[in-house]
């Protein structure tokens, strides 16, 4: 079985929610804590991404794998947009999905799974890929309103397929995480909520 040794973002997180929108939610009318709020928003994104195994914002990720003995690798954090490159240790090639003619000889990408046409002659793989945009649109509402509902009793398939509802829910979770951290509180109760639990199970 292929062992995924490490997964880490290549790019630092960024705040996907307008800063003024966050300040309105927290009822803050000064600029002294703008940098703190921006950093808390980035932290909230990372916490939630790790909890639901989905990338909320678009950025590059790196995974390293050992004991390559399967003909596929399931990428642990999606949705995968593209494979930038796959590098094999002790092997003299690097191929990417952008090199269409070259890459299709070695692998195909289906959803979040890379299928190898032949097993790489290596005990170690490093993969850089781009993932994100599970909301398919901006997290901040166009009318700058603040969502006030957590959808706990929902049909998860309908909820995920309705991207406006999904974006609103992601936004609501992030805002409440930012509020908790700003007040020095833990986010465990939010990350263990019914809505996050349903998201996590849906994407497994």
HEC-encoded secondary structure of the chain? CCEEEEEEECCCCCCCCCHHHHHHHHCCCCCCCHHHHHHHHHHHHHHHHHHHCECCCCEEEEEEEECCCCCEEECCCECEEEEEEEEECCCCCEECCCCHHHHCCCEEEECCEEEECCCCCCCEEEEEEEECCCCCCCCCCCCCCCCCCCCCCCCHHHHHHCHHHHHHHHHHHHHHHHHHHHCCCCCHHHHCCHHHHHHHHHHC
Q: Are residues 123 and 85 in the same domain?
A: yes
- CA gap 75, 12 in Å, rounded: 19
pLDDT at 158 (0 to 100): 47
Assess contact for 162 and 107: CB atoms under 8 A: no
pLDDT at 147 (0 to 100): 43
Q: For residue 6, is it within any domain? A: no
Q: For residue 38, is it within any domain? A: yes
| pTM, rounded to two decimals | 0.76
- CA gap 158, 162 in Å, rounded: 6
Q: Are residues 113 and 141 in the same domain?
A: no
Q: Which domain holds residue 34?
A: 16-56+134-203
Q: Are residues 142 and 183 in the same domain?
A: yes
Q: For residue 141, is it within any domain? A: yes
- CA gap 34, 147 in Å, rounded: 21
Q: Are residues 36 and 65 in the same domain?
A: no
pLDDT at 23 (0 to 100): 95
pLDDT at 61 (0 to 100): 92
Q: Are residues 45 and 81 in the same domain?
A: no
In the structure encoding, which two tokens stand for residue 71, read together?
């003909």
pLDDT at 179 (0 to 100): 94
Domain count, the chain: 2
Q: Are residues 78 and 112 in the same domain?
A: yes
Among the three residues 79, 110, 131, which one is the final residue of a domain in this structure?
A: 131
Q: Are residues 38 and 65 in the same domain?
A: no
Q: For residue 97, is it within any domain? A: yes
pLDDT at 197 (0 to 100): 81
Express each pLDDT in 68-83 by its tens digit. 777 888 898 888 988 8
Q: How far is CA 69 from CA 112, 122, 184, 185, in A?
A: 18, 10, 46, 44
Give the distance, in angstroms, between the CA of residue 78 and the centroid of all CA atoms in the same chain: 6
Q: For residue 4, is it within any domain? A: no
Among the three residues 131, 154, 170, which one is the final residue of a domain in this structure?
A: 131
pLDDT at 144 (0 to 100): 44
pLDDT lower than 50: segments of the chain: 137-138, 140-156, 158-159
């Amino acid at each position: 079985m292929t062992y995924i040794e490490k997964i880490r973002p290549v790019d630092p997180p960024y705040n996907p929610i307008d800063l003024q929108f966050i300040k309105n939610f927290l009822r803050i009318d000064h600029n002294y804590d703008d940098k703190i709020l921006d950093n808390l928003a980035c932290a909230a994104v990372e916490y939630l991404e790790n909890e639901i195994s989905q990338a909320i914002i678009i950025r590059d990720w790196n995974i390293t794998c050992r004991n390559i003995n399967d003909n596929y690798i399931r990428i642990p954090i999606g949705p995968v947009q593209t494979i930038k490159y796959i590098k094999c240790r002790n092997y003299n090639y690097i191929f990417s999905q952008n090199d269409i003619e070259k890459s299709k000889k070695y692998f195909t990408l289906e959803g979040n799974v890379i299928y190898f046409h032949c097993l790489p002659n290596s005990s170690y793989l490093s993969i850089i890929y781009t993932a994100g945009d599970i909301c398919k649109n901006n997290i901040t509402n166009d009318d700058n309103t603040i969502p006030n509902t957590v959808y706990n009793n929902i049909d998860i398939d309908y909820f995920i397929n309705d991207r406006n509802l999904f974006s609103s829910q992601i936004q609501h979770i992030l805002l409440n995480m930012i509020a908790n951290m700003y007040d020095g509180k833990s986010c465990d109760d939010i990350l263990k909520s019914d809505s996050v639990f349903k998201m996590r199970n849906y994407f497994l």
